[in-house]
Structure 1
């Protein structure tokens, strides 16, 4: 349980690094280039993971994957790119507090999609943990209002709020799709195809929408270093997130990422002289309590064992069922975080 929570906090720290470098680029150097920053990350994914797929042999080769599933990864690449773009764009229209609260919409999206498409079932303690985490986020938003960090509303707050909700929905779709791919196929295939289609579509969007902003950037070694830092954190986030999702779940990861804003805030106390409130500490420990509650027990997957096909652990032991036996629908219990790879599943008819 503690390992699951700790892995999620590593992802939050990477997002903290992404937020800090983006803040320096936009506020200190007036480099508003969210598409270009995403493009750099997709290029790194392409160079590392897509080339890995290209040199593989057999059914795991890049061309073989493209022949079978190219249109699915094309849609996923677009969803991932636009999710990032919509949330960043929302900062021009609405407040920081609204973005922090509305971004939590990704959690019910992930829960619903996991329920219907991954057949994951939750227990009462999971919902209690989720509610506690969201209460922690509400506490942080209240602290922002008290210390005056809720500024930033632009000309049309409704547009900004809708952009956040749209981005959160796309994030939820992307995360659940990612969980399905890494459990049934492979992490390298997911990252390689995201790198391929993400680089392609972000390059087109960059040429159409952001080329003028890119020309305005006052290039020097400091800006270059910030872009390098941002790309390194983003690449680390994309590379490590599938590992954490496979050990836990997409829902658990999104709950863990709620602490990212707090890490950014704590850094901002020293770097940007933010005002401090005791509610921030209360918020942090409330979210951690919710994470511990959520991770304290395992979820389970409701599925006929013949159809299940070792979804949780494709390489694990499989209990052969008689071909002629009548098998009733059952509930397959599985731990998304605590069980070891060599543990057989316990099936309760």
Structure 2
């Protein structure tokens, strides 16, 4: 349980690095280039993971994957790109507090999609942990108001709020799709295809929407270093997140990421001279308590032949399906470790 919580905090620290470098680029150097920053990340993913797929042999080769599933990864690449773009764009219209609170909408989206498509079932303690985490986020937003922290432009709040909700929805779809792919296929395939289609579509969007902003950037070694730092943190986040999702779940990862704003705030106390409030510490520990509650109990998968086919080791003896009237599913989908390898394979009618 503690390892699962710790792994999630590593992801939060990477997001903190992404936020700090983005803040320096936009506020100190007036480099408003969210699409270009995403493009750099997708290029790194392409160079590392897409080329890995290209040199593989057999059914795991890049061309073989494209022949079978190219249109699915094309849709996923668009979803991932636009999720990043919508949330960053929302900062121009709505307040920081609204973004922090509405971005939590990704959690119910992930829960619902996991319930219906991955057939994951939760227990009461999981919902209690989720509520405690969201209360911690509410506490942080309240502290921002009390200390008068910069709240954003807020020029057209409704538009900004809708952008955040749209981005959170796309994030939820992307995360659940990612969990499905890394459990049924492979982490390298997911990252390689995201790198391929993400680089393609972000390059088009960059040429159409952001080329003028890119020309305005006052290039020097400091800006170059910030872009390198941003790209390194983003590449680390994309590379490490599938590892954590496979060990835990998409829901657990999104709960862990709620602490990212607090890490950015704590860094901002020294770098940007933010005002401090004890409510920030209360918020941080409240979110951690919610994470511990959520991770203390395993979720499980509803008894369904598709789940056995998708998530179980195909080796081993073939047995008949269990009685449909059985009250409790016998298959455990744990967020605390790997699944048992000796589960019997189920014949699907």
What TM-score bracket applies, with the shorter chain setting the length?
over 0.9
**CA contact 2:319–2:346 (8 Å) conserved in 1:** no
Q: What per-residue deviation string (whole Å, max 9, x for no partner) do you get for residues 77-134 of structure 1?
A: 0000000000000000001000000000000000000000000000000000000000
**CA contact 1:109–1:173 (8 Å) conserved in 2:** yes
**CA contact 1:312–1:334 (8 Å) conserved in 2:** no
**CA contact 1:100–1:141 (8 Å) conserved in 2:** yes
Structure 1 window deviating more from structure 2 (339-348 vs 275-284): it is 339-348
Q: What per-residue deviation string (whole Å, max 9, x for no partner) do you get for residues 17-68 of structure 1?
A: 0000000000000000000000000000000000000000000000000000
SS of structure 2 residue aligned to 1:27:
helix
SS of structure 1 residue aligned to 2:347:
strand
Question: How many residues were matched structurally?
Answer: 349
CA distance in 1, matches of 2:316, 2:148: 53
**CA contact 2:129–2:290 (8 Å) conserved in 1:** yes
**What TM-score comes out, normalization by structure 1 length?**
0.93
In structure 2, do the counterparts of structure 1 residues 294 and 313 end up closer, same or farther at CA, with 3 Å as the change threshold?
A: farther
In structure 2, do the counterparts of structure 1 residues 97 and 3 end up closer, same or farther at CA, with 3 Å as the change threshold?
A: same
SS of structure 1 residue aligned to 2:318:
coil
Instruction: Tell me the CA shift for residue 226 of structure 1.
Output: 0.2
**CA contact 1:331–1:348 (8 Å) conserved in 2:** no
CA distance in 1, matches of 2:129, 2:46: 37
Structure 1 window deviating more from structure 2 (1-10 vs 153-162): it is 153-162
CA distance in 2, matches of 1:156, 1:325: 54
**CA contact 1:305–1:332 (8 Å) conserved in 2:** no
CA distance in 1, matches of 2:107, 2:312: 21
In structure 2, do the counterparts of structure 1 residues 237 and 316 end up closer, same or farther at CA, with 3 Å as the change threshold?
A: farther
Instruction: Tell me the CA shift for residue 155 of structure 1.
Output: 1.9
Instruction: Tell me the CA shift for residue 307 of structure 1.
Output: 5.0
Unaligned runs of 5+ in 2: none
CA distance in 2, matches of 1:344, 1:267: 50
Structure 1 stretches (4+) deviating beyond 3 angstroms?
312-349
In structure 2, do the counterparts of structure 1 residues 322 and 329 end up closer, same or farther at CA, with 3 Å as the change threshold?
A: closer
SS of structure 2 residue aligned to 1:92:
coil
CA distance in 1, matches of 2:138, 2:345: 38
**CA contact 2:113–2:176 (8 Å) conserved in 1:** yes
Instruction: Tell me the CA shift for residue 13 of structure 1.
Output: 0.2
In structure 2, do the counterparts of structure 1 residues 316 and 41 end up closer, same or farther at CA, with 3 Å as the change threshold?
A: farther
Equivalent position of 1:272 in the other structure: 272
In structure 2, do the counterparts of structure 1 residues 119 and 306 end up closer, same or farther at CA, with 3 Å as the change threshold?
A: closer
Instruction: Tell me the CA shift for residue 348 of structure 1.
Output: 18
CA distance in 1, matches of 2:344, 2:282: 40
Q: What per-residue deviation string (whole Å, max 9, x for no partner) do you get for residues 230-279 of structure 1?
A: 00000000000000000000000000000000000000000000000000
Equivalent position of 2:189 in the other structure: 189
**CA contact 1:29–1:218 (8 Å) conserved in 2:** yes
In structure 2, do the counterparts of structure 1 residues 198 and 314 end up closer, same or farther at CA, with 3 Å as the change threshold?
A: farther
Instruction: Tell me the CA shift for residue 149 of structure 1.
Output: 1.4
In structure 2, do the counterparts of structure 1 residues 216 and 336 end up closer, same or farther at CA, with 3 Å as the change threshold?
A: same
CA distance in 1, matches of 2:232, 2:222: 15
**CA contact 2:314–2:345 (8 Å) conserved in 1:** no
Q: What per-residue deviation string (whole Å, max 9, x for no partner) do you get for residues 121-161 of structure 1?
A: 00000000000000000000000000111521332110000
In structure 2, do the counterparts of structure 1 residues 301 and 272 end up closer, same or farther at CA, with 3 Å as the change threshold?
A: same
**CA contact 1:303–1:332 (8 Å) conserved in 2:** no
**CA contact 2:317–2:344 (8 Å) conserved in 1:** yes
In structure 2, do the counterparts of structure 1 residues 99 and 346 end up closer, same or farther at CA, with 3 Å as the change threshold?
A: farther
**CA contact 1:333–1:347 (8 Å) conserved in 2:** no
Unaligned runs of 5+ in 1: none
**What TM-score comes out, normalization by structure 2 length?**
0.93
**CA contact 2:120–2:333 (8 Å) conserved in 1:** no
CA distance in 2, matches of 1:125, 1:313: 29
CA distance in 2, matches of 1:324, 1:267: 54
Equivalent position of 2:227 in the other structure: 227
CA distance in 1, matches of 2:324, 2:277: 66
The two structures, once aligned, show a CA RMSD in angstroms of: 3.2
SS of structure 2 residue aligned to 1:273:
coil
